[in-house]
Structure 1
Amino acid sequence: MPATDLNPGAPRWPEGQRSCVALAFDLDGPTGDAMLDGSIWNNPSYFTLGSYGPWRALERLLDMLDERKVPATFFVPAWVVENWPEQCAAIVARGHEIGYHGYKHEAFWTLDADGQRAVMERSAQVFDKYLGIRPVGFRTPSGDWGPDTIRVLMEAGVRYSSSMRGDDRPYLLHAPGMAEPMVEIPGRWEMDDYASLAYHRNPNFPASLDRIASYDTTLDNWRREFDGSHRDGLCLTTLFHPKVSGKPGRIALLESLIDHMHAQGGVWFATCRDVAQWWRDNSASPTPQEAPR
């Protein structure tokens, strides 16, 4: 019996594959709140913690993906592209996808429509100047967006988002007055390496407990999430960060996770761009949803 027949409601992925995995990394560098308010320039430790991602960890990740012949999507703030253009160009040169992730990792829900448009326009100019590309994907830096965001994104040529949490399959988002829907490829906090591996010295709370999870436990959690997604024929994407999981000891977790996925068979590894296009072409989405307001 074919694997997909075990769950008649499961999507049928390309070439009869049972499930889909869209590996995705947020190459934030040192962008974020501290850069937006300027405090990062007085904190060399925090700046270098972020810059480790594009400067050192990215190449290690790209080598690992090459070895395992797995494509990935990198959501990159445009400021990171400006400051590490050669490293970001290597992402494209090695066959991976780059998507929008703000200019300096702005919280889109705090910006009005014109503010969001300004971020998208500046980002598009940077990607064109340094990489010669026009991304079609977007992941909100803040984990949320405002009522105008979907229209702003679609006007900027964005065809899919990986920002929301509404399903464990892609689905369609409709904006009032817009003929074409946007594909949403939802992520899950369970597949965010920050939840298990990020360390912050301040605030020191809870003081008596470890703030970095056991690597064995972390890998077990990620494997279980994949196993459930694979069993049910779903689409799993990740919210990994090179500066968090691209370090020499931690990259072994990613290697083991991908090897585990390969060992199960029947997995379609794809960029988020290819997942969104396939979903759109095959009209596989459940009932379209309204964009969040």
Structure 2
Amino acid sequence: MALAFDLDGPTGDAMLNGSIWSNPSYFTLGSYGPWRALGRLLDMLDECRVPATFFVPAWVIENWPRQCAAIVERGHEIAYHGYRHEAFWTLDADGQREVMARCVDVFDRFLGMRPVGFRTPSGDWGPDTIRVLMEAGVRYSSSMRGDDRPYLLHAEGFAEPMVEIPGRWELDDYASLAYHRNPDFPASLDRIASYDTTFDNWRREFNGSHRDGLCLTTLFHPKVSGKPGRIPLLEKLIDHMQAQGNVWFATCRDVAQWWRANDASVSTQEPSV
């Protein structure tokens, strides 16, 4: 079980097109994530004694460096998520290289580190993305949706493959808990689901993966899930997972390392039922 959070802050389409600078309420909706929710989530993870991976746009690190440094200081993984949450599928190879170069520089200057993980902003990428990521030293991605287990991605000219740890929209908190008046992104998010129903959905997704011995990660967002009334929802989910037994809680980096070392023996196994 690889708990993962996308610490987007106020980055994304509204920042890329400039409209966020005339919409302070939307800016503060995003900045709530690194400014207030992140610390609350880190405290919860400490109490539950589970690690997590945080995918963070480099712009967020530039503007909230102390908060982002706390992620690493408290034993969690931090990984790439674009510079300002760019949609990689809209960029050519050179545009993607420019974004990754800025990310590498920011992580080095502010955190003194070079991550090995990446989650594509906006949920998709282009034909050159795998090569661009591997050129930047990325060893795994958690971006696609095509399996219930990790798998290997190859690029011409690179001897070692990149590991893909697929996620699923069912475990994206935006689907149940996000609400925006304007801008309407994602479209049609006009009401917040019952927390009990949301927990039941997440519980069922975990139970199915646990039963079949699969790999599961989340697409949670501090600005969505890291609020006082929602932290108990996450705690309840973690408590449920821990109570089932035989669950490996790991960072995405650790999952990728394990899969790379064991892929030849596990990729041909059928899931147990």
Place the TM-score, normalised by the shorter chain, in its bin: over 0.9
CA deviation map 1:2-37 (0-9, x unaligned):
xxxxxxxxxxxxxxxxxxx00000000000011011
Equivalent of 1:240 in 201, 209, 220: 220
**Within the alignment, does 1:161 sit opposite 2:126 as a pair?**
no
Computing the radius of gyration over CA atoms, which structure comes out larger, 1 or 2?
A: 1
Aligned counterpart, 1:12: none
Report the alpha carbon displacement of residue 204 of structure 1 after superposing the two structures with TM: 7.5
- Please say if residues 170 and 285 of structure 1, whose CA atoms lie closer than 8 Å, have aligned partners that are also in contact: no
Report the alpha carbon displacement of residue 177 of structure 1 after superposing the two structures with TM: 3.0
CA distance in 1, matches of 2:83, 2:4: 18
Which residue pairs with 1:253 in the alignment? Answer: 233
Instruction: Give, in whole Å, the separation in 2 of the partners of 1:111 and 1:142.
Output: 12
For structure 2, the residue ranges without an aligned partner over 5 or more in a row are 269-273
1:115 matched residue in structure 2: 95
1:187 aligns to what? 167
Q: TM-score, normalised by structure 2?
A: 0.94
Asked whether 1:100 is paired with 2:74, we answer no
Residue 227 (str. 1) matches residue 171 (str. 2): no
Q: Is the 8 A contact 1:171 1:285 kept in 2?
A: no
Q: 1:45 aligns with which of 25, 31, 40?
A: 25
What letter corresponds to residue 112 of structure 2 in structure 1? G
CA shift for structure 1 position 286: 2.8
SS at match of 1:213: coil
Aligned-residue offset at 1:107 = 0.3
Give every structure 1 segment of 4 or more consecutive aligned residues whose post-TM-superposition deviation is greater than 6 Å: none
Identity value in percent:
87
CA contact (8 A) 1:151 1:175 kept: yes
Aligned equivalent of 1:55: 35
1:76 and 1:100 in contact (8 A); partners too: yes
SS at match of 2:35: helix
Give 1:88's match in structure 2, choosing from 62, 68, 73.
68
Distance of 1:244 and 1:237 partners within structure 2 = 17
Q: Deviations over 1:196-240 (max 9, x none)?
A: 0000113789xx996110000000000000000000000110000
Match of 1:18 in 2: none
Report the alpha carbon displacement of residue 185 of structure 1 after superposing the two structures with TM. 0.2
The structure whose RCO (Cα within 8 Å, separation 6+) is larger is 1
Q: How many residues align?
A: 265
Q: How far apart, in 1, do the equivalents of 2:52 and 2:124 lie?
A: 22
CA distance in 2, matches of 1:282, 1:139: 22
Match of 2:193 in 1: 213
- Following the alignment from structure 1 to structure 2, what is the Cα–Cα distance between the partners of residues 285 and 261? 23
Secondary structure at the aligned position of 1:237 is classed as coil
Query: How far off is 1:176 after superposition?
Result: 2.6
Q: 2:252 aligns with which of 267, 272, 275?
A: 272
Q: Which residue number in structure 1 is paired with residue 53 of structure 2?
A: 73
Shift of 1:180: 1.2
